Structures are given as structure tokens and as C-alpha cells.
Amino acid sequence: MPSTRALKTRIRSVKSTKQITKAMQLVAASKMRKAQEAEEASAPYTRMANEILTHLASQGVTDDHPLYEKRAQVKSRLLIVIATDKGLAGAYDANGLKLYAKQLLSDDKEGVANQTLYIGRRANRFASRLKGTEVAAAYQDLPDDPAGGQLRAIVQMAIEKFESGAVDAVDVVFTEYHSTVRQEARMQRILPAGYEVVDVGENVREALFEPSKEEVLEAVTYRLIEAQVYHALLTARASEYIMRMMAMKNATDNATDLVDDLTLAMNKARQAAITQELAEISGGVEALND
């Protein structure tokens, strides 16, 4: 059995770790609420963007538009993979990267070439262990609200590769936030535009497009594609903070249980030491009496 001094050292160490995980849990909870609010605020706009893109694609006005061109066969694909920068978020990265690896294997079997744009250090680190994967770009330390130059650069690269014919499709791999107890790794196609079939509401079907559908199409297509990528980043960030909060809570609870176990072991060791000392004293007294 370890000595009481060693057990005291371990207890101090575990308590110190518990303070860190508790602080990280509180920070993640605070950021989670902000990320949830941002995701929920952008969700209606993104849903409407999907409906408008799908509706325009079904009206025939997109036939000559390069961003709506559905290739007869997908021979090459750009994957935008969203992961974390810091880890410590439970199975968040594992789930998303597992889906990404599954898609790579599927494309390899079907002879589809891949390019990947990585967002997050964990995705980039995972890519460094893969063979034969072409890295189109890598981004790290994106802000919680990724609107700005980096978002536009990501979208612009995807559009340029699709328009030039370098890739036949663009998909985003991310973790979608549903609730605090449910997050799901999924893949969503953003190019060709309007590819993802969604139910188009009556308000969109009966809407009047001024001055014409063609001019509206030209004006809004880029912004709606940008909105899809933006929402993927927001919902992924909300999922990340939720899973990090839960991981840190579990770590804190485990640290509490470990402290209790170590304290019990220390008390037993102390009691055993006291019993042994009393036995030695009793033995010494008897020896003197003899």
C-alpha cells in the first residue's frame, strides 16, 4: 500500500487537475450558449437559402449557370472538413474524421479523385497521417463567428475550383448541432448549388422575383452558398463546445471520485500505521516488564 505522503501528493495533484477541468467546463458552457444563439439565429436564413436554391434549380433558370451545373459523373471532389483546434472535446473529432475517412475510402474504390480543405488543427494533423491526399488549403484558429475574410476565402476557393472544372462537386463534412444531447457528423453538398433536395415552402414557390429570376439568381447564388458554409461552421462550433463541456464535466466527476478513493486509501494507510505503532509500543512495554 502506498505511504500516506505519496497518497497526499496524489490527492493534491488530482484536486489541481479537477480545478482545471472545472474551469474548462465553465468556459465551454459560456461559449456554448453564445454559439447556440449564433447557430439558432442563422438557421432560418440557411434553411431559406436551401429552399431558394432548390426552387431556382427546379425552374430551369439555372441551366446555363456554372454554379448549378450538375456533372454527369463526379470524377473529382473537394471536401471541406471542419474539426477542432484544441481537442479535449470527447468524440467530436473522431466522429467527423471517421465520416471523412469513410468517404475517402468510398471515393478511392470508385476512382474519384479528392482534394481537401481542412479547418482546424486536428483535421490537419489527421491529414498528415494519410497517404495520397491532396491538401487544397488549411485554416486554423478561426473565430467563433467566422464571418469575414477567411470565410470568403474558403467559399471563393470552392467556387473557383468548381467553375474551372478542377472538381465536379464540393461537400462539407461537419458535426451538426441538434440539441445539447444530440450532435451528428454529416456531409452536405454545397456545389453544384441547389443539389441538396429540400422541401420548398409555399411562400418560396409563390414568391415574385424582381426584376427577374435570372437577375435574382445571379445576385443571390454566391451569398446563399456562403450562408451554407457559414452555418456549417456555426453549428460545428456549437457542437464542439457542447461536447467539450460534457467531456470536462465527466473529467471533473471522475476526479472527484478519484479524490474520494484516494482519501479512503490514505485513511486506511494512516489507520494501519497507527495500529502498527500501537502494537510496537505494546510489544516494547511487555519486553520491559519481562
DSSP 90-130: TTHHHHHHHHHHHHHHHHHHHT-EEEEEEESHHHHHHHTT-
Among 65-79, 151-165, 213-227, 234-248, the least confident range: 213-227
Using 50, 70 and 90 to split pLDDT, how confident is the model at 79? Answer: very high
Q: In the predicted model, what is the mean pLDDT of residues 173-177?
A: 89
Query: Rounded distance, CA 279 to CA 220, Å?
Result: 88
* Max CA separation in the chain (angstroms): 116
Q: Is pLDDT above 90 for 171?
A: yes
How confident is the model over 238-290, as pLDDT tens digits? 888 888 888 888 888 888 888 888 888 878 877 777 777 677 677 666 766 66
Query: Which tops the pLDDT comparison, 165 or 195?
Result: 165
How confident is the model over 13-63, as pLDDT tens digits? 888 888 888 888 888 888 888 887 887 777 787 777 777 777 777 777 777
Q: Topology of 44-243 in CATH?
A: Pyruvate Kinase; Chain: A, domain 1 (3.40.1380)
How confident is the model over 207-220, as pLDDT tens digits? 777 777 777 777 77
10 Å CB burial of residue 281 (0-12, 13-18, 19+) is: exposed
Query: Which tops the pLDDT comparison, 288 or 237?
Result: 237
Q: Where are the domains of the chain?
A: 44-243
Q: Is pLDDT above 60 for 195?
A: no
Using 50, 70 and 90 to split pLDDT, how confident is the model at 88? Answer: confident
Among 77-86, 114-123, 163-172, 186-195, the least confident range: 186-195
Q: Is pLDDT above 90 for 64?
A: no
User: What pLDDT is stored for residue 198 in this prediction?
Assistant: 64
Query: Rounded distance, CA 70 to CA 191, Å?
Result: 9
- Strand intervals (E) in the chain: 76-82, 113-119, 134-139, 169-179, 182-191
Query: Rounded distance, CA 277 to CA 50, Å?
Result: 78
How confident is the model over 106-158, as pLDDT tens digits? 888 888 888 999 998 888 888 888 877 788 888 988 888 887 788 889 999 99
User: What pLDDT is stored for residue 196 in this prediction?
Assistant: 58
Q: In the predicted model, what is the mean pLDDT of residues 153-168?
A: 91
**Among the listed residues 47, 46, 80, the one whose alpha carbon sits nearest the alpha carbon of residue 173:** 80
pTM exceeding the 0.75 threshold for the entire prediction = yes
Q: In the predicted model, what is the mean pLDDT of residues 190-209?
A: 73
